[in-house]
Structure 1
Amino acid sequence: MTSKSHSEWDVIPFDDQPAEAAQKPSVFWKMGNKLGNLFISAKKRVTSKYREVTSGINQKLDEEYEHLRAEFEADLFAQTEAFECELKVQRRRWIGIAIVTALVGFFIGMLTAFNLI
């Protein structure tokens, strides 16, 4: 048996269908078309709402990030100033200790040079 022997097995390609069948859409085709258009419009509305909500969330996150970054920079700047002040105090202290040590060494050297010790 070939596929041409039974009419129920005949497959008509989509392009070769009669013109009157293409011009008269069935009720189910119309209903499917309407439902498809409804689905597409609903999808577009949902997508636009999703983008609107996520852009708002992203904007809030960016603002919060900028605020935290500015706060972090201010804290780092304050720590830097405190560290520089402490560093100046330490430098002055060690310069003073170095000068006193040099003078003591100089006087001890003078005393030993003149045999006073």
Structure 2
Amino acid sequence: MTPKILLVSLFILLASCHEPTFSERYNQQWREPQGQEFITIGRALVKNDIRVCGEYYVRKSSLDPGEYVVGCTPDGEKFEYFLVWTSTEKVTPIAATEIDIAPEGSK
């Protein structure tokens, strides 16, 4: 293979391996957790001592079935955001600036 063909092939391969954006990864609308989601996400939040979730809304990952972005609020207005992995009960805070659309009813 000539160096030119190899370089073009490498470029095509790299171009096809793009990391999904936040909006692509969590492409669903905000919604209330349902059924077992409510239990498993709630358990992870409690285990990680997250106390701002008087109510919370979720967006499920389109790539990983047990991964959610969670918008928590103590008052229905001010939200804090977390990534939650239900299989490991891991919770990581994320900046509000990462969120493309806030949960409905938030300001």
Give the structure-2-normalised TM-score: 0.26
Q: Say which structure is richer in strand.
A: 2
Q: Say which structure is richer in helix.
A: 1
Give the structure-1-normalised TM-score: 0.24
Larger radius of gyration: 1
